[in-house]
């Protein structure tokens, strides 16, 4: 089986959100997954303590780096992505809460079509990739395990998005390198830098798509820095009109409804089978049902 992409988590100043994100990563990401906790001198003493304790117990292959002085959100993330070379990288927002299976399904989406440069999962605060409603911030999922099971049953059509969205995105390494990474000179916020990168990737013939089988929750949407949207509008004059048209046409309406139907009807997880079947002299018989 191919190695999963590298996960990059830019560490923020909110230690409560960091704790929740690390717990979700531990619960929903395969052991041995490569994770880079990248701290642009943002974490306070309690955040550093959360990281130290988690690093001592995690099953993930995690590394933590901290700069002595901050260089800014986009510049720091671009530095990290550059260090990853041509590897595929999944970038999480500092307050993201990935649901089980998120990374495997994003990786499968990217592997399914060589023209895909970025894959964005659903989110309750996902703008154009929002669920259950587009362009709105919904409450955190009330039953994340059930929602993850429902999303896993979605057909893989990978519809196009206007751009990747900042709660979580898997970036193809070769495409990212060809586009020369993030523009840290023009933008201060990750969400604006990601939009710009996505539009440059699209201009080079790549696709920015929704991965319908993955879900990453988030309590709020990302907020661009002052002036970022103006700079985007200057560089990409049709950007705001394209997003407005996407929101009005809502091409993902049927796809969201399908996920809602699956969430309403999906059953409980399959019980874990007994590890050792019961046998008698005349051959094996069915094992008794597993007990909780």
Tell whether the model's pLDDT for residue 275 goes beyond 50: no
| 195-246 pLDDT, tens digit each | 999 999 999 999 999 999 999 999 999 889 999 999 999 999 999 999 999 9
User: Where are the domains positioned within the chain?
Assistant: 6-267
Tell whether the model's pLDDT for residue 72 goes beyond 80: yes
Beta-ladder partners of 169: 91
Q: Out of 3.20.20.70, 3.40.50.620, 3.90.550.10, 3.40.50.2020, select the CATH number for domain 6-267.
A: 3.90.550.10
pTM: 0.91
Tell whether the model's pLDDT for residue 285 goes beyond 70: no
Tell whether the model's pLDDT for residue 292 goes beyond 50: no
Q: What angle do CA 268, 210, 111 make, to 5 degrees?
A: 90
The CA radius of gyration of the chain, in Å to the nearest whole number, is 20
Comparing CA positions, the residue from 51, 59, 54, 148 lying closest to residue 104 is: 148
Residue 199 and residue 202: Cα distance in Å, rounded?
Answer: 5
What pLDDT was estimated at residue 111? 97
Tell whether the model's pLDDT for residue 291 goes beyond 70: no
| 122-180 pLDDT, tens digit each | 999 999 999 999 999 999 999 999 999 999 999 999 999 999 999 999 999 999 999 99
């Amino acid at each position: 089986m191919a190695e999963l992409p590298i996960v990059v988590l830019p560490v923020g100043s909110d230690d409560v959100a960091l704790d929740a994100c690390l717990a979700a990563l531990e619960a929903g990401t395969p052991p041995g997954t490569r994770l880079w906790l990248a701290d642009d001198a943002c974490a306070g003493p309690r955040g550093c303590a959360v990281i130290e304790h988690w690093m001592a117990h995690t099953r993930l292959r995690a590394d933590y780096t901290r700069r002595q002085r901050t260089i800014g959100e986009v510049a720091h993330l671009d530095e990290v992505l550059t260090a990853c070379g041509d590897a595929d990288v999944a970038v999480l927002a500092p307050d993201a809460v990935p649901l089980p299976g998120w990374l495997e399904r994003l990786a499968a989406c990217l592997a399914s079509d060589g023209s895909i440069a970025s894959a964005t999962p659903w989110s309750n605060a996902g703008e154009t990739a929002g669920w259950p409603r587009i362009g709105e911030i919904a409450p955190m999922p009330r039953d994340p395990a059930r929602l993850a099971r429902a999303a896993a049953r979605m057909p893989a059509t990978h519809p196009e998005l206007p751009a990747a969205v900042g709660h979580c995105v898997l970036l193809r390494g070769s495409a990212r390198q060809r586009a020369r990474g993030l523009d840290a000179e023009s933008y201060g916020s990750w969400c604006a830098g990601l939009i710009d990168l996505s539009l440059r990737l699209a201009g080079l013939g790549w696709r920015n798509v929704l991965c319908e089988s993955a879900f990453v929750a988030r309590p709020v949407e990302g907020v661009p820095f002052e002036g970022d949207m103006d700079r985007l509008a200057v560089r990409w004059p049709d950007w705001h009109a394209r997003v407005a048209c996407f929101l009005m046409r809502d091409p993902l309406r049927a796809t969201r409804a399908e996920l809602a139907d699956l969430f309403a009807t999906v059953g409980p997880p399959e019980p874990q089978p007994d590890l050792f079947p019961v046998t008698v002299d005349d051959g094996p018989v069915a094992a008794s049902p597993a007990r909780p």
